[in-house]
Amino acid sequence: MSEILTARALLAKLVSFPTVSRDSNLELVDWVAEYLDGHGIATARDYDDTGKKASLYAHVGPEETGGVVLSGHTDVVPVDGQAWETDPFWVTEKDGKLFGRGTCDMKGFDALAIWAAVEAKRRGVTRPLQLALSRDEEIGCVGAPPMIERMKGQLPKASLAIIGEPTSMGIINGHKGGTGFDLHFKGFEIHSSLQDRGVSAIMEAARLIQWCNEQNEQSAAEADPDSPFDPPFSTLHVGMIEGGTAHNITAKDCMFVLSLRCLPTEDVGEWRKKVLAEIARIEAGMKAIRPEAEIHVDPRWDVPGLKEEVDGEAEAMVRRLTGLNSAGVVSFGTEAGQFQSAGYSAIVCGPGNIAQAHQPNEFIEIAQLEQGEAFMEKLLSELA
């Protein structure tokens, strides 16, 4: 049997793998699989189309339904251009904090989940525990859905999932969903003095961006003041844009990503239809000037919101484990909505503060990691 590592040692090992979303995560997945295998836990994988990334999942305990899933993601955001004071891929302790990329989001929880799986195997449990470590969460939660489908087909179906995004060990029972599009406006170049005979990709893209502004204003005006969400309405956003050749040429190209954060009480699909209808309207105007002008639309992600469950099993369990009597909501998305859509009761609860996620000098407080360990100990006792 392999050496049993502490949650902190596991965290240090996980952080040492630079699993930035643009790169492979297979070294981390290979190591986790080997570590779990050394403790008698078989693992399975779901690969992406390139074969260079994989999600990993495992089952511990009796081969029966009704278990608990501990869900985390293995990828992290880049450190490029950030002013780090320490090596981002080495855990450094200072002032009661553990610094390193992913310590908070969310390898701290991953480490706790791996530790709990090994302890569940070693101690024995009468209710199953499943581990789910996804790929590509940071680029739109695209790795979880195929992993969940494989889990449902290959493992006894669990009844609830705890998604360990950083909530300072608070309970989150609702979050926004969203969708995103890669957009490429293709215009027709001509000297800007004759711009009425050409099509400026940038200026046509501006029509869609202005429409987004108007939709946001309308949504804000119609928002429910009693909504627990901040902001209490769905939002459309463009964060980056590029295109054009020169100041006196109508732009041939304009590219940007359009994203939507949608209240869980609203239909992401209906919002998608509205966006695509506006894109089609703008494209028709472009083609009326130059038939070869067009807009290429490439869907990027589709993340359902997490809806508060009436008498939800996951929330009831996490309330028992944390001792908390209240829950909240957040405006960022997680894989919890995807587990919920797949038929699991789902809740979000994990160590670390979301304010540290994606930041230079990202850290998790040691006290938070210890609080997560206490949570896992109580979970193991309940499963036993």
**In terms of DSSP bridges, do strands 129-134 and 54-60 run parallel, antiparallel, or are they unpaired?**
antiparallel
**Each residue's pLDDT tens digit, 117-137:** 999 999 999 999 999 999 999
- Backbone angle region of 343, left / alpha / beta, with phi > 0 → left and psi within -120 to 50 → alpha: left
Please give the Cα distance from 368 to 97 (Å, whole number).
9
Q: What tens digit of pLDDT does each residue of 196-224 get?
A: 999 999 999 999 999 999 999 999 999 99
Q: How many CB atoms lie within 10 A of CB 342?
A: 17
Position 181 scores a pLDDT of 95
Question: Contact, 181 vs 366, CB < 8 A?
Answer: no
| Short-list 68, 52, 5, CA closest to 380 | 68
Are 46 and 146 contacting, i.e. CB atoms less than 8 angstroms apart?
yes
Phi, psi of 236 (to 5 degrees): -105, 145
- Residues pairing with 130 in the sheet: 59, 69
Question: What are the residues whose beta carbons fall under 8 Å from the beta carbon of 164, sequence distance 6 or more?
Answer: 70, 71, 72, 106, 108, 109, 110, 112, 113, 348, 349, 350, 351, 372
The answer to whether 220 and 153 are in contact (CB under 8 A) is no
Count the neighbouring beta carbons within 10 Å of the beta carbon of residue 199: 26
DSSP secondary structure letter of residue 173: E
Q: Which two tokens stand for residue 144?
A: 């979880």
381 burial via Cβ count (<10 Å: 0-12, 13-18, 19+): exposed
Residues with catalytic function = 75, 137
pLDDT mean values, one per 10 residues, the chain (384 residues): 91 98 97 98 97 98 98 97 97 98 98 98 97 96 97 97 98 95 97 95 98 98 94 96 96 97 92 96 98 95 92 97 95 95 98 95 98 98 96
Tell me how many degrees the CA angle 204-208-211 measures, rounded to the nearest 5. 135
**What pLDDT was estimated at residue 259?**
95
Residue pair 348/306 in contact by the 8 Å Cβ criterion = yes
Q: Which residues, 6 or more positions from 121, have their beta carbon under 8 angstroms from its beta carbon?
A: 39, 40, 41, 60
